């Protein structure tokens, strides 16, 4: 009998300690995904002035940085409203 009460106590304590953490993680992930999604959508518009004026050697790092930032935003925002 004590074994079943110990299992019940363990499962209740595990639920109460992990549930708020999981809920907090989900609440924090939603706005991060939102920002990532819209950043991935809007960042390509910043390519246009760079490409229209022609890429000089000083602008190549800016363009590469924008591409990398767009890739990160795409990965972060991929699950938004799925």
d(CA 7, CA 36): 42
Domain with 61, as residue range(s), is 2-77
Q: How far is CA 81 from the centre of its chain?
A: 12
Residue 68 covered by a domain: yes
Mean pLDDT over 57-74 rounds to 93
Provide the pLDDT confidence category of residue 43 given band limits of 50, 70 and 90: very high
Residue 27 covered by a domain: yes
> 56: phi > 0 → left, psi -120 to 50 → alpha, else beta; which?
beta
29 HSE (CA, 13 A, CB side):
12
Q: Please give the tally of structural domains in the chain.
A: 1
pTM: 0.67
Q: How far apart are the first and last CA of the chain?
A: 46
């Amino acid at each position: 009998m004590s074994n079943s009460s110990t299992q019940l106590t363990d499962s209740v304590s595990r639920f109460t300690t992990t549930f708020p953490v999981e809920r907090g993680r989900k609440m924090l992930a939603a706005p991060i995904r939102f920002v990532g999604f819209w950043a991935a959508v809007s960042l390509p518009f910043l390519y246009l002035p760079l490409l229209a004026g022609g890429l000089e050697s000083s602008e190549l790092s800016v363009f590469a940085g924008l591409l990398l930032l767009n890739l990160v935003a795409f990965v972060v925002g991929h699950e938004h409203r799925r």
